[in-house]
Structure 1
């Protein structure tokens, strides 16, 4: 007879799981995105970390696309919107866009998500509302503000995605591309040769090229609106 004493642990002794909800699912999906990048954002992985089946998630989100939209909005909660002042509309506009850029820089997966997903939720609405308010304070027409909003957001998301892509795993490819441009045959590619230094210029530490792009877009909108 085996007299070895065994400790039986009741399932009731386990810590209770947090009740499943859309908020819990979105938060966990965001954490996976932060840890693993865009590849971590799958219904199966989210369900596994929540100790449930993927089918349980569909009670709260329609599909992965909808979940991705909510995750992006969750990330946008970190965007800082300065106190609004109509006399400082341009400074406010740029400060909000730079804050948005920094949120995308912080988590590379979020930058990719922003380029491929339409956000759903209060934080994305708050960002758009704020930016539209600043553009409207310039006196531009509603259509110009609405269309200009798209251009400015696209500038931020595309530049952020490029930044995190190079930083993540494309440094070698960037180096090869730069070498190819810098060594381009002057007789065959005269304009590339004459502009080779300017093509890779701009102080990245102070967002020189990024800010230049925002200024060009903004001034173009204002000019077109006249």
Structure 2
């Protein structure tokens, strides 16, 4: 008879997420997760085939927590899309190391698919069809994923902004001027200002 399983997929996903939160995505390995669980590396292969499957569990642990219920119907569709995006940002933003995994596993993660379906319903309501709706969804995903990475891994208001401000203004007049203004822009303003600009383009 096979040995009884003593770990659940939720435990595996939680341990892998703990590794990512602590050491970044580059620190994720079967060995690191086994150490987190206090078991052997080979023992993990009784539960998952490889790291790819483990990554999928992590994505679902995080994205499965995103509320995809329809926002209040008595508001304009861009506002409702913003609600869905805010929910995604708040959830993923707590675990920024997972952002790239959502790209890799977006086609098979139920959480990602449910969020995309909710957004697509609003884009359809706005009259976007066919190729235009394809571009709208992919553009929105590209903005959200990129903006979350920028916010957590290289925010404009940090040390990089100070370095850019110190560049010679005669050579980089617009860059240095923009960097000076960037110091006054917080993460919320930056993220949702960019999102609003994107949605205005869709609504045009």
Please give the range of the TM-score, normalised by the shorter of the 2 chains: 0.7 to 0.9
Q: Residue 214 in 1 paired to residue 195 in 2?
A: yes
Q: Cα distance 1:43–1:196, how it changes in 2: closer, same or farther (>3 A)?
A: closer
| Aligned match of 1:179 | 162
Q: 1:91 aligned to 66, 73, 79, which one?
A: 79
Superimposed CA distance per residue, residues 174-223 of structure 1 (whole angstroms, 9 cap, x where no aligned partner): 42x3233323333322333454433444233xx11211211222233344
Q: Which moved more, 1:184-193 or 1:146-155?
A: 184-193
Question: What is the TM-score with the length of structure 1 in the denominator?
Answer: 0.72
After superposition, residues 159-170 of structure 1 pair within 5 angstroms as 159-166=147-154
Matched-pair contact (CA < 8 Å) for 2:16–2:33: yes
Q: Distance in 2 between matches of 1:76 and 1:203?
A: 25
Q: Which moved more, 1:74-83 or 1:185-194?
A: 185-194
Q: Cα distance 1:62–1:148, how it changes in 2: closer, same or farther (>3 A)?
A: farther
Q: Residue 138 in 1 paired to residue 126 in 2?
A: yes
Superimposed CA distance per residue, residues 135-191 of structure 1 (whole angstroms, 9 cap, x where no aligned partner): 111111132222222221222222222222248xx99xx42x323332333332233
Q: 1:61 aligned to 37, 48, 54, which one?
A: 48
Gaps of 5+ in 1: 1-16
Q: Distance in 2 between matches of 1:195 and 1:21?
A: 50
Matched-pair contact (CA < 8 Å) for 1:140–1:222: no
Matched-pair contact (CA < 8 Å) for 2:78–2:199: no
SS at structure 1 position matched to 2:98: helix
Matched-pair contact (CA < 8 Å) for 1:37–1:109: yes
Measured on the aligned residues, the alpha-carbon RMSD in Å equals: 3.0
Question: What is the TM-score with the length of structure 2 in the denominator?
Answer: 0.79
Gaps of 5+ in 2: none
Q: Distance in 1 between matches of 2:87 and 2:184?
A: 23
